[in-house]
Structure 1
Amino acid sequence: MTPPTSPAFRARLSRPRFLGAATLSLTAATALVVSASAAQAQPAPADTPLAIAPNVEVTADDTAAGALPGGTAGTTAENLLADAVIADVLQARGSGMSALDAQDRDVRVDIREASDGSAFGVAIVTAPSATEESPYAWLFAADHEGSEWTVGLEGTEVFSEILSASTLLGEEERETVADSTNPDKVSASSYTGVGLPYSIGSSMIMTGGPHGFSSGHPYSSADFAGGNGQARAARGGYAYSLCTGWTRVIHNNGYSTDYYHLENYQWLPGNNVGTGHYLGTQGNSVCAGGSSTGAHIHFALRAYTDPNAAGWYVALHGRTLGGWTFQEGAAYGGYVYRSGVGTVYPGGSVYNYGF
């Protein structure tokens, strides 16, 4: 991440709430799959025009763009912010723009909020279409001091520090998300306090056991289909639509959950949702690349407890969700078990007991 340029962030004025989907130019992602030990690349020099690279797309709501500081006759204010965001994304991914281009990956920066020197949005690295490769996505918060942007990616202390010191989002949302994603303030255990991605008291077929978003570890995900086909929040929290078909819900217990491939989709720009809130239906949406065979809900678990992991996906193995403890085997294999009930393998029906 880019280190802060100042030990404190200046006070800011109030701003409007989050803008709805109708005013947004939507960009997307599905999921992060990367080891916390991945090599860290050096950020690109500040004068590198990352935002105008051929595989970069920068979008901003008109109101947000107009509230951004900086900008010159040759470089827009949104591109200056995007440069700083992309530099942090490249560092987090341990990659460079040319390497991503060679992999047929794009970088998208969606600036969704801006007010009095602060900004909030989504940063994305897409996946090649029709492949098993994985896209990546982060919420980001940024602070402008002097002539530079300081950026924090979701799951880092910098993200939480910038967000909590700003007036971005609503007050309760801002404080909850900042605290819930701060690795200094949260802890996680094998009991996650998270259910399954459908209504408590109902069942779906586990079509795929623990697996990653691609072929590698961590096996953070499981696939579900059948039942009434509806995807619902596994626990309450703040829900962010990252593309039309993918939602992330940040919970208040050190975890967040992702729901991908959704259709009949509800756009949620930071809504405070309860357990069981409707998100969409099982489907084959691939709004940021990748692939899907057969309509299903791709459900994944993320945690914010490691300051070096930046909110990466975490293994389901040994963790209890929906009353079932997950055990991994080969990718898409493994099983879930519940004391007094038994063991369910892929292809079997899993009842959501809640948490």
Structure 2
Amino acid sequence: MFGYRMFGWRRPGARRTAGITTAVLTLAGALSMAAPAGAASADRRDAGPEAAVAERLAERGRAEIGAAAAHDTTRVNVTRDAGGWAFGTAVLATEPGSERMPMGWLFHAEREGGTWRVALEGEERFAELSRRSPLVKAEEKPLFARLDGRRAKPSEEAGRDGGGAVVYGAGDYRTGMALPTTVGAGTVMTSGPHGWSGSAAPWSSLDFAGGDEVVRAARQGTAYTMCRGWIRVVHDRGYATDYYHLWNNINTNGGWVGAGAFLGYTGTDVTCGGAAYGRHVHFGLIQNGSYIPVAGHNLGKWVIYNGSAAYQGSAMHGSRLVNAGGTLYNYGALGLNQAVVDANGGTYVNKRTGPGTGYAVSGSAADGATVTVSCSANGTAHTGRYGTTSLWNRLSDGTWISDAYVWSGVNGPVSGWC
């Protein structure tokens, strides 16, 4: 496979158990508490939500990480509370210098009969509480409704969400995101796909460094400070993105950020644990509350590919391949109705007046060019980088191009049938 690993940024290694004794912590500007895993339910009656959230957090940690989570510190930060409701962040912090990164989720809690009902991001109850909670802002409502852990059904049409959450397994890899850097500038992808905590699957994460060292929101959404150095942005379609190791990052509690908004600078911050070997941003892709493989998805007009091992891999723009350690130019976001021309090693692709080679040539599209797709139809079959297809796309200028020579992120029509 393609790629090599850039040493000196983040390196995989044996998983080490963080040996931090759980203690009460106060975070500036918000109520925060660390609590031991498995706190008794009786101790939570008529008390604040922190202990109940910490218990649920520990349960989620054991499910996601295993026994190692029992030694992590639970950090519960209540950022909003009123009338028997609470909202905030819940983080399993690891030891600074550990190869294992912290994990965290947003939470909702509702008090019923003196007991707090808690739900973490990516759980069905999280979406249910979000619909009723007076603490959820108007712009958060539609985003949180998708964070219920659902997976698309096979019967759902490829490329459409059918009212349910779109997931990578449903043949739709579009993100609508750009690279988490400054549009119009280059940055080094110091490490290709790897796990949020090293080599372990899923390989959800990438490392970026260099350029102007500014870290920006890959897509618009609502942003949350998980801890110092760590920002999460919740996007539409069930996606979220994580940005860790930041210096001078923003402090936000659900503030709306536009695509390309400033989040912080690349750095080496490990306030919530983990390791950083050289200045960079550790970028992670999340869907429905869980990290997912980044390979196959697009970041801007680059498609990410795995290597033969974690931290290797590559990115492709049209036919141009850049291995880990190379520089990626930020072309901006790829629209959900757009595609990138991939001439499969050529310099251009012919456009036709209809869906097939029996129609006249009507111009061409250069390798790496962005095209907007109006609708699709079946025509003559062609073979490109991703196999053989008879699907043709009608472009916004009225011409047609074979789907074999574009990357749209969808296994099927991008904008419906003509």
Same fold (TM over 0.5): yes
Give 3-state SS (helix, strand or coil) of 2:49's partner: helix
Q: Which amino acid is the alignment partner of residue 125 of structure 1?
A: L
The aligned residue for residue 274 of structure 1 is: 258
Structure 2 CA distance for aligned equivalents of residues 158 and 317 of structure 1: 29
Give 3-state SS (helix, strand or coil) of 2:139's partner: helix
TM-score (norm 1): 0.74
> In 2 relative to 1, CA 167–54 (structure 1 residues): closer, same or farther, beyond 3 Å?
same
Structure 1 CA distance for aligned equivalents of residues 253 and 269 of structure 2: 19
Q: Alignment partner for residue 143 of structure 2, among 173, 177, 181?
A: 177
> In 2 relative to 1, CA 313–76 (structure 1 residues): closer, same or farther, beyond 3 Å?
closer
Deviations 1:200-257 (A, max 9, x none): 2221011111111222011101111111110000000001011121100000122111
> In 2 relative to 1, CA 77–285 (structure 1 residues): closer, same or farther, beyond 3 Å?
farther
Residue 54 of structure 1: how far off its partner (Å): 5.0
Pair member with larger Rg: 2
Q: Which amino acid is the alignment partner of residue 94 of structure 1?
A: R
Structure 1 CA distance for aligned equivalents of residues 247 and 220 of structure 2: 21
Counterparts in 2 of 1:1-355, with a 5 A limit? 55-57=22-24, 59=26, 80-94=48-62, 103=71, 105-170=72-137, 172-184=138-150, 185-188=164-167, 189-213=172-196, 214-304=198-288, 311-329=289-307, 330-340=309-319, 342-353=320-331, 354-355=333-334
Give 3-state SS (helix, strand or coil) of 2:255's partner: strand
Structure 1 CA distance for aligned equivalents of residues 101 and 129 of structure 2: 28
Structure 2 CA distance for aligned equivalents of residues 203 and 149 of structure 1: 48
> In 2 relative to 1, CA 217–75 (structure 1 residues): closer, same or farther, beyond 3 Å?
closer
> In 2 relative to 1, CA 182–102 (structure 1 residues): closer, same or farther, beyond 3 Å?
closer
Residue 83 of structure 1: how far off its partner (Å): 2.4
CA contact (8 A) 1:58 1:110 kept: no
Deviations 1:133-171 (A, max 9, x none): 12110110011111211111011121111122011043x
CA contact (8 A) 1:56 1:108 kept: no
Residue 90 of structure 1: how far off its partner (Å): 2.2
Structure 1 residue ranges without an equivalent (≥5): 1-52, 66-73, 305-310
Deviations 1:8-36 (A, max 9, x none): xxxxxxxxxxxxxxxxxxxxxxxxxxxxx
Greater share of helix: 1
Q: More displaced, 311-320 or 56-65?
A: 56-65
Structure 2 CA distance for aligned equivalents of residues 276 and 328 of structure 1: 26
Large movers: runs of 4+ above 3 Å: 56-65, 74-80, 99-103, 182-185
CA contact (8 A) 1:58 1:82 kept: no
CA contact (8 A) 2:181 2:260 kept: yes
> In 2 relative to 1, CA 161–101 (structure 1 residues): closer, same or farther, beyond 3 Å?
closer
Structure 2 CA distance for aligned equivalents of residues 56 and 226 of structure 1: 37
Structure 2 residue ranges without an equivalent (≥5): 1-19, 33-41, 151-163, 335-418
Q: How many residues align?
A: 285
Q: Which amino acid is the alignment partner of residue 178 of structure 1?
A: F
Greater share of strand: 2
> In 2 relative to 1, CA 332–100 (structure 1 residues): closer, same or farther, beyond 3 Å?
closer
Instruction: Give the aligned CA root-mean-square deviation in angstroms.
Output: 2.7
Q: Which has the higher contact order (CA 8 A, sep 6+)?
A: 1
TM-score (norm 2): 0.63
Structure 2 CA distance for aligned equivalents of residues 78 and 86 of structure 1: 16
Give 3-state SS (helix, strand or coil) of 1:194's partner: coil
Deviations 1:102-149 (A, max 9, x none): 74x211111111111110011111112212112110110011111211
Q: More displaced, 194-203 or 110-119?
A: 194-203
Q: Which amino acid is the alignment partner of residue 250 of structure 2?
A: Q
Q: Which amino acid is the alignment partner of residue 163 of structure 1?
A: S
Structure 2 CA distance for aligned equivalents of residues 95 and 56 of structure 1: 22
